[in-house]
Amino acid sequence: MASGVKPRVKAPKSAAAGETVTLKTLISHNMESGQRKDGNGNVIPRSIINRFTCEFNGKSVIDVTMHPAISTNPYFEFEATVPEAGEFKFTWYDDDGDVYEDVKPVSIG
């Protein structure tokens, strides 16, 4: 696992049925582009988060493909409608095969 990777999510704990809520997500990650060289002229291998998804009760909310030009600590802010109580599941896919997850339950009220 790449070092210092930590996902974080800011989501409301409750919402009215049908309400549109704002979700903020950030994952600390170097996002090494694969274009840089080290002091000896060797290419530093690419190591980025290449995909980010968010699901609500198994239904896709957002599915993002990321490329090497995305800067360090990728941040996504987006909106989602909450039709019923349930949970948001956030998933980040690393180049090295690691998958990072976070889950935020939302209640109706």
Give the CA dihedral 29, 81, 10, 96, nearest 10 degrees: -20
Token duo for residue 13: 């704990």
For the bound state, the minimum distance from the C-beta of residue 77 to another protein, rounded and expressed in Å, comes to 9
Among the residue ranges 4-12, 14-22, 55-63, 84-92, the one whose residues contact another protein (CB under 8 A): 4-12
Among the residue ranges 35-43, 49-57, 66-74, 86-94, the one whose residues contact another protein (CB under 8 A): 66-74
Number of residues that bind another protein (CB under 8 A): 10
Residue 36 in the binding site for another protein (CB under 8 A): no
Token duo for residue 98: 């690691």
Listed residue (103, 2, 88) closest to 44, CA to CA: 2
Residue 33 in the binding site for another protein (CB under 8 A): no
CA–CA gap between residue 91 and residue 71 (Å, rounded): 18
Token duo for residue 17: 């049925």
Contacts with another protein by CB under 8 A lie at 4, 6, 8, 10, 24, 26, 28, 71-73
